[in-house]
Chain A
Amino acid sequence: MSAILELENLNYSYIDGGYERQILQDLSYSFEEKQFYTILGPSGSGKTTLLSLVAGLDTPKSGRILFEGKDITEIGLHKYRRNDISIVFQQYNLISYLTALENVLLAMSETDNELPKDRKNVAYNLLERFGIVSSKADRLVNQLSGGEQQRVAIARSLASNVNLIFADEPTGNLDTATEKEIIGIFKDLAHEYGKTIIVVTHSDSVSSMSDQRVLLKDGKLTKL
C-alpha cells in the first residue's frame, strides 16, 4: 500500500499568556491509503490542531504536508480542501437553512472532481445509504436528530468523491449505539469504498474499531 498523506517535520506553536507553547515538534508520519486511522491523545495534546493542518484549515510553522506526494501548499489549500479531502466535525457543521439533501449537494457544487450528472439522485442515494430516507432528506437539518445530522455530515464528506476523509471527534455528541453505527460506516468506507479515514478521538471504544491507532503525545505521533 502506498502513502496517501505524509507529514514531514511539522512544527506548530502559539503564544499563550506571553509564552510560546509548542504543540507539534518535528512531527513526521505517513498515512497509507484505504486504511481507517484513529489518532488518540490526551486533552490538549494537539489532536484538533493536527487535524486542522492536514485538512488545510491552518498552516504549520514549518514542515511539509504531502498529499499523494505533492505539497498541499503547492496544490493550494483552497483547491486541496475542495477536491482532495473532506472533513466531518464533532458539531456536524451543517448549514441550518438548507435541507439534508441541499447540504450534500453543497459539497458537490464546490468540487472540481468529476461527478455523475444526476447529482440530486446521487445525493439521495448517499443519504439513504446512511439511513436518511428521502422524506427526511428534504427536511431542514435542524429538524433531524444528532445522529441523523452526523450521517448527513458523513454523506456530505463523501459527496465530493474524495479519497481522504478527516473526522474530528465525530461521535462526541452521540450515544453509544449511534457511535458504533457511525464508526461502522467509517470502517465500511475504508474497506469497501477504498477511502482513507483519519479520525481524531479520545474514545478508546472508537479507536478499538480502527485499523491503525496512532498516539499523539509530546508533539509527536507514535503508532500503537
Chain B
Amino acid sequence: MNFIKRAIKNVTRKPSKSVLLILTFFLIGNLVIIGLGVSNAAESAKILTRQKMRAVVTYKIDYDKINQYVMQLTDEDEINKFYENYPRVKLADVALLLQDERVKTANAVNTNMWYSDRENSLDFVHLNNQAEENMGQNGQSCWYDENNVEHCEIYKEPYFLIKGNMFPSMIEFEDGEYQIVSGRFYTQQEIDNADMVCLVSENLAALNGITIGDTINLANSNYSTWMEEFGATQEDLENSFEVIGIFSHNNPINPDAPNFNYMYPYQNPDNMIFMPSTAEYMAQLTLSQKEWDHYSQMYPEESYYSEDKRPSMENMEENLYIENVTLLLDDPMNVEPFVEEHQNSLSQFTSLDANNEEFNKLAKPLDTLSIYANFIVWLVLINAIVIITLVTALTLKTREYEIGVLLSVGASKLKVIGQFFIELAIVAVIGFTLSIVSGSLIAKSLGNKVLEYQIASSDINENGNGGLYYPYDGFDPWSTDYSTDITLDDLISEYEVKISPLIIAEIYVLGLGIVFISVIIPSFMIMRYNPKKILMNQN
C-alpha cells in the first residue's frame, strides 16, 4: 500500500502540476458529459416514444419486390401467368411466426358489412343522426341482366360491421382497446371447425336482451333481385350465430365530432361483431357458390371459373384474399429485432414491416443530434488519450530517475505503474467530478439549442401521419393499420438531457480507461530497459 501513499504525496506535494492536470481532465470531462448527455437524451426520447407505440409488425405483400420481378420479365405469357397466381400472404407463414414467444397474437382480418335477418330480429345501436334518418333514401344500386337490361333498387345501408380473424385473439383485445365483459373469445378449434359463434358489444346485447349462449340472426347481404338470376334465396343469406362473448370498448362516440352526422350504423363500434373468419366465410359460402355456378356457365372459358376455383372451405384462404396480417409483440423494443430475424424466412414477395417509417422520419433530428454527440465523445476520447498520454510521457520522462531508484530498491514494475496510475486517477476523478456539475448544465442548454436548430432545419410534418379522413374521432372501422400515430411533439416531449448515474459511471469508467492507457504506454516505454539503463538515461 506504500505505492498508494507515495502517489497521494506526489499529487499533494506537486500542486501546480496536479492543478494543471485537474483542469485538463475537467475540460475533457465537460466535453464527454455534453456528448454523452445529449446522445443519451436523444436515444432515451426515441426509446420512450417507441415504448408508447404499439408493438406491431405487419406481414404483407412486398409490392416493390413484385414490381422489380415483373420489370425483368419479357415474355407476356409469363407476366400473365404471374398475375394469375398473384402472390399473397400465407397463413402458414403466420403460423410459423406465431411460434416465436414474443408474438402475443395476430390479426388476419376480413371485414364485411352485414344486415339483420328479414324479420329485423336484431336491432342495431342507434346514433339518431342525420345519416340514420336518410337510410334507404340515399341512392340506388343497379345491375344488368344477361340481356343487358338495367335493373335498379333502393340501396339499403348495412347495420353491422363483421370482423373475422383467423387466430383466437385480436390485437384490440390484447391491448385493452376492447375488453370482454362476459363470456369469452373464440378458440382455435372453433376457427378450424368454422363454428358459427360471435362476440357482440354490451350496448348491442343490452338493446336486444342478449346473454351468453343466445343466438342472433344475421344476413350477409340485403336480398336483391339480381340474386334471383342465380337462384339464391333469402334463406341463403341468413345464418344464426351463438353469442359466446360480450365486449366493451374504448371508442366512445363523440356527437360533436365534425362527421358525426354522416356516420352510418356499421361505423359505430357498438355495432361491430367479432367472429372467426371461417364462420364469416362459411356464412357467405352458399351465396358465393350459387353465384359462381351461374357465372361459370356463362363464362366457361374464363380461368377464374375453372372447377378448382369454386368457393369451398378448402380454398378459403385463396378466396378471402387477406392482404396483410398484423402481429402484436410483447414489447415495442422487440419489433426491429423480430423483423430482422424473420425477414428472410418468409414466402417469396412477402415481407415484414416494423411500421417505423414515420417514427424514423420524425426521429431524424434526434438521430442527427445523437450522431454529432457521439462523434464529439469519440473525438474527445481519442484526443484525451493522445493528450494525456503525451503529458504523462513527458512527466514520466522527468521521473525516470525515480523509476530507476524504485526498481533499484526492489520495487516491482507493477507497483511503479500502480503508483503512476493512482496519481493520475486521483486528479482525473477530481477533474471529472467537477465537470459533472458544469457539464450537465452546459449539456442541457446546448442540447436543447442544437435540437431546436435541427428541427428548424428539417422538413418534417409536425402533424405526423395525421390528416386522414375518419368518420369521427379516431376510429376507422376498416383500418388494418394497428401502428400508433406519433407526432414530433411526442418525441420532443420525451427529450430531456439528464445526467443519470449511468452516465456518471460511464464518465468515470472512460476517464479511468484513459488514465490506464495513458500510464501504461509511457511506463512500458521506460521500463522495457533494465534499471541501469534507466538510471544512466537520467544521469
Residues of A within 8 A of B (CB): 52, 55, 57-59, 78-79, 81-83, 86-87, 89, 91, 93-98, 102, 105-107, 109-111, 140, 156, 160
Chain B minimum-CB-distance residue to A109: B2
Bound together, the chains give a CA A72 to CA B321 distance in angstroms of: 90
> What are the residues of chain B within 8 A of A95 when measuring CB–CB?
6, 402, 405-406
A-B contact pairs, 27 of them (CB 8 A): A57-B408, A57-B531, A58-B532, A58-B533, A59-B530, A78-B412, A79-B410, A82-B410, A86-B409, A91-B401, A91-B538, A93-B404, A93-B405, A93-B535, A95-B405, A95-B406, A97-B9, A97-B13, A98-B6, A98-B9, A102-B9, A106-B406, A110-B2, A110-B410, A140-B13, A156-B409, A160-B409
Given A58-B530, A95-B402, verify A81-B10 contact (CB < 8 Å): no
Interface: B411 (CB within 8 A): yes
Q: Least Cβ distance of B107 to chain A in Å?
A: 74
> What are the residues of chain A within 8 A of B530 when measuring CB–CB?
57-59
Q: Identify which of residues 486-539 in chain B touch chain A, using a CB-to-CB cut-off of 8 Å.
A: 530-533, 535, 538-539
Question: In the complex the two chains form, is A106's CB within 8 Å of B2's CB?
Answer: yes
Q: Which among B13, B406, B410, B531 has the greatest number of chain A C-beta atoms within 10 A?
A: B410
Bound together, the chains give a CA A83 to CA B410 distance in angstroms of: 8
Question: In the complex the two chains form, is A111's CB within 8 Å of B410's CB?
Answer: yes
Q: Least Cβ distance of A156 to chain B in Å?
A: 8
Q: Least Cβ distance of B410 to chain A in Å?
A: 2
Question: In the complex the two chains form, is B409's CB within 8 Å of A81's CB?
Answer: yes
> What are the residues of chain B within 8 A of A111 when measuring CB–CB?
410
Bound together, the chains give a CA A160 to CA B408 distance in angstroms of: 12
Pick the contact of A97 from B10, B404, B408 — CB < 8 Å? B10
Given A95-B402, A97-B13, verify A106-B409 contact (CB < 8 Å): yes
Pick the contact of B532 from A57, A102, A110 — CB < 8 Å? A57
> What are the residues of chain A within 8 A of B411 when measuring CB–CB?
82, 110
> What are the residues of chain A within 8 A of B407 when measuring CB–CB?
81
Q: Least Cβ distance of A47 to chain B in Å?
A: 13
> What are the residues of chain A within 8 A of B406 when measuring CB–CB?
95, 106
Bound together, the chains give a CA A191 to CA B248 distance in angstroms of: 107
Chain A minimum-CB-distance residue to B3: A109
Interface: B81 (CB within 8 A): no
Q: Which among A59, A79, A82, A95 has the greatest number of chain B C-beta atoms within 10 A?
A: A95
Interface: B449 (CB within 8 A): no
Question: In the complex the two chains form, is A94's CB within 8 Å of B412's CB?
Answer: no
> What are the residues of chain A within 8 A of B401 when measuring CB–CB?
91, 93
Given A81-B410, A82-B410, verify A94-B405 contact (CB < 8 Å): yes
Q: Which among B407, B412, B532, B533 has the greatest number of chain A C-beta atoms within 10 A?
A: B532
Question: In the complex the two chains form, is B6's CB within 8 Å of A110's CB?
Answer: no
